[in-house]
């Protein structure tokens, strides 16, 4: 089987982190090999000693039977737009689980999911496509996370939580058991969410309240 060229979608700080993490994976050099970055900004890597370049934009990067892509974007709306362009060109996406992550039994993962170092998922969990779990984030049993959501570092999604599509959860936030977070909501860093969050609402604080209250 030929080794595929792996392109990292996003050449910002997260993309540079992702380069190191994919190189730590046992499949690196066996199934795929990092080949470059995809970014609208051709100078995104200027000033950084990165040994790979921006290979093109989502519209121009090579998409062939020997290419593979991994998403290194955090903002849900940006993910949707960029992934949509690449999917429209026939791109194949890697579901990436860092070797230090722990994934329990009966956990279902959508295409393009990314688990950074130290992620823990217990059991009976459903994760939609292109969901990000950043460093040290966790999810308890019977949790559901919708497509394109981003869960920042050290977030605790406790048992039976429901996270809608396109939700962004800031670092160190806690969602208590059984709470639903509606589609497109934003949970501020450090928030403790003790009640349902309506779609599109931004909340922060302990207990979490709508922005401006």
Tens of pLDDT, residue by residue over 27-39, are 999 999 999 999 9
Which class is domain 4-94? alpha beta
Residue 79: Cβ-neighbour burial (10 angstroms; 0-12, 13-18, 19+): buried
Name the pLDDT band for 212 (thresholds 50, 70, 90): low
Distance CA 21, CA 161 (A): 28
Using DSSP's 3-state secondary structure scheme, residue 101 falls into: coil
Query: Which residue is associated with the tokens 């639903």?
Result: 180
Question: Could you count the other beta carbons within 10 Å of the beta carbon of residue 136?
Answer: 19
Task: Give the pLDDT confidence score for residue 151 in this predicted structure.
Answer: 98
Question: Could you count the other beta carbons within 10 Å of the beta carbon of residue 7?
Answer: 25
Distance CA 179, CA 187 (A): 13
pLDDT higher than 60, residue 89: yes
Q: What would be the CATH architecture of the domain defined by 98-205? A: 3 Solenoid (2.160)
pLDDT higher than 90, residue 116: yes
Residue 28: Cβ-neighbour burial (10 angstroms; 0-12, 13-18, 19+): middle
């Amino acid at each position: 089987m030929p080794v595929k060229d792996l392109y990292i979608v996003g050449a910002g700080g997260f993309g540079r982190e992702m380069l190191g993490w994919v190189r730590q994976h046992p499949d690196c050099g066996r199934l795929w090999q990092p080949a470059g970055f995809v970014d609208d900004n051709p100078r995104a890597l200027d000033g950084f000693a990165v040994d790979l370049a921006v290979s093109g934009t989502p519209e121009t990067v090579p998409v062939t039977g020997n290419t593979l892509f991994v998403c290194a974007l955090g903002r849900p709306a940006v993910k949707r737009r960029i992934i949509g362009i690449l999917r429209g060109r026939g791109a194949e996406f890697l579901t990436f689980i860092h070797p230090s992550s722990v994934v329990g039994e009966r956990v279902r993962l959508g295409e393009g999911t990314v688990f950074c170092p130290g992620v823990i998922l217990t059991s009976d969990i459903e994760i939609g496509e292109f969901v990000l779990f950043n460093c040290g984030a966790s999810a308890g049993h019977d949790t559901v996370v919708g497509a394109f959501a981003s869960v920042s570092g050290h977030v605790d999604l406790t048992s039976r939580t429901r996270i809608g599509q396109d939700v962004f959860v800031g670092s160190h936030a806690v969602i208590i058991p059984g709470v639903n977070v509606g589609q497109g909501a934003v949970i501020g860093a450090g928030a403790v969410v003790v009640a349902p969050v309506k779609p599109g609402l931004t909340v922060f604080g302990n207990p979490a309240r709508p922005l401006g209250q």
